[in-house]
Amino acid sequence: MISFSQAQENLKALFASWLNEQTVQTERVNLQQALGRYLASPVFASLDLPRDNVSAMDGYALSALRPDAVTAGEEYTLIGESRAGEPYAGIALKAGECVRIFTGAVVPKSANTVVIQEDVSVSSGQAVVINEAVRIGANIRRQGEEIAAGIEIASAGQQMTPNMVPLLASQGVGELEVVRMLRVAFLATGDELKAPGATLGTGDIYESNLASIQAVLGSYRLELQNLGVVEDTPAAISACLARAAESADVVISSGGVSVGDYDFVRQCVESMGVLTDYKVAMKPGKPVCFGHINRADDGRALFLGLPGNAVSSFVVLTELYLPALRYLMNGRNVTPNQQITATLKEDLKRRAGRLEFQRGVLSREPNESGLLVWRVSAFGGQDSHRVLGLARANCTIQIPAEVAEIPAGTEVTVSVFPWFESL
């Protein structure tokens, strides 16, 4: 049995080795379809931003009477207007002339300063009097001052996020080259497992792990293949694993990885590839195994084995496998779930021996000074079959292997479920 931290390191090494073998496959998608995907090539600006010298304020663009400053008391003749979409098209401004201008409008090339409207008085239809001195060049956003055409504005390997859309759209980018989505196939084993809506016989239960895997991974840009429940025989399991390995990059199996008489997944994978690790010192979720399945083309698909127990499967997937899967998606680093420090609200007791992930509820509550601080409480029942507590949790509390008791008021490490990171 290996430690949780060793399992993390071994997973990264396994995944890094697999990534090094792959030829990057790409596709072109439109800007909206690219959200959440990773760029396969850099993006360069095709335009200056701003494209012209534009006004930063509503006011008056003028050709100054003096070369060093625009001073109070000067009077300028109004000869036109420039607004967004309709720049001034008249003759060049002479010293002492100005045009009405609005934020974002093009500054005439013959103007060298914009005076904001609050700092002038319009004495008649054609006369604009300066009330406050201003430096030459004020209130003008210069062409290309934010972005110069030709510079890199997005890097290969960068994830497309919503805040990048305004930038790329402003450059007229309609399509992007992105890395092909990771293909993940998943299956469950167990003759007692029945689909929702089916009639349960004695000893039967409704299958929930496939739905759980779909729910956890469904918020990521992945190609998911739900292969359903496989008959509990070596032949059926081997055939399903082989099909999955041919069509997917990663194969996830729920159940069949322990040492029972009908736990065939582990031996099937070992006959078709390599299991690099088996059993991790974590609770819940000790019967964990991962490795690879060989393909007919001499390639290989990664294999991740989950326990069949619902809560154990969920914890292993979210705490161990999900951060590593994000590494496969971005090809650069393992992205852990958000971890914060919170104060334990009640005493916590348990049997030491393995790193434990207890389901808990994290909240922001005022302390004695009225400041909001993080507090967390664990559910009383932490047995690995208790799905009700899992449904009500928004985090796990990480308890080191050697710790048996933690008194209330102690600071503990909390791993926030990814879908609750905006708490």
Q: So what's the pLDDT on residue 386? A: 75
CA distance 362 to 370: 18
What's CA 371's distance to the chain center, in Å? 30
Strands 300-306 and 372-378, sheet pairing: unpaired
Position 362 scores a pLDDT of 95
Sign of CA dihedral 268, 271, 273, 279: positive
Taking domain 54-141, whether its CATH number is 3.40.50.360 is answered by no
pLDDT of residue 136: 97
Q: What crossing angle do the helices spanning 4-21 and 322-330 adopt, rounded to 10°? A: 20
CATH architecture of 339-420: Beta Barrel (2.40)
User: What pLDDT, on the 0 to 100 scale, is given for residue 113?
Assistant: 98
Q: Is the distance from CB of 213 to CB of 248 less than 8 angstroms?
A: no
Q: What is the dihedral of CA 228, 266, 244, 192, to 10 degrees?
A: -10
pLDDT above 90 covers a percentage of the chain that reads 78
Asked if 397 and 376 count as a contact pair (C-beta separation under 8 A), the reply is yes
- CATH 3.40.980.10 holds for 4-25+180-330: yes
pLDDT of residue 382: 67
The answer to which of 23-32, 39-48, 191-200 has the lowest mean pLDDT is 191-200
Alpha-carbon span 102 to 108, nearest angstrom: 12
**Overall size of the chain counted in residues:** 423
Q: By the 8 A CB rule, do 135 and 115 touch?
A: no
pLDDT tens track for 279-289: 899 999 888 89
CA angle centred on 329, ends 305 and 308, rounded to 5°: 15
Instruction: Calculate mean pLDDT across residues 206-226.
Output: 94
Q: What is the pLDDT of residue 385?
A: 63
Alpha helix segments (H runs only) across 106-256: 165-170, 209-217, 234-247
What is the structure's pLDDT at 262?
57
339-420 shares the fold of 4-25+180-330:
no
What is the signed CA dihedral for 340, 346, 347, 348, rounded to 10 degrees? -50
Q: Which residues pair with 278 in a beta bridge?
A: 289
The pTM assigned to this predicted structure is 0.84
Rounded CA gap, 277 and 2, in Å?
8
Q: Return the minimum-mean-pLDDT range out of 166-170, 334-338, 380-384.
A: 380-384
Cα distance between residue 386 and residue 391, in whole Å: 9
For 54, the enclosing helix (H) or strand (E) is strand 54-55
In this structure, what are the phi and psi dihedrals at residue 167, rounded to the nearest 5 degrees?
A: -65, -50
Domain regions of the chain by residue span: 4-25+180-330, 43-49+146-179, 54-141, 339-420
φ/ψ (deg, to 5) at 6: -70, -40
Mean pLDDT, all residues of the chain = 92
Q: What is the per-residue pLDDT across 58-92, written as a single tens digit (0 to 9) for each?
A: 999 999 999 999 999 999 999 999 999 999 999 99
Tokens of 300: 């290989």
In angstroms, the CA 205 to CA 199 distance is 10
What DSSP letter does each residue of 394-416 carry, written as one string?
SEEEEE-TT--EE-TT-EEEEEE
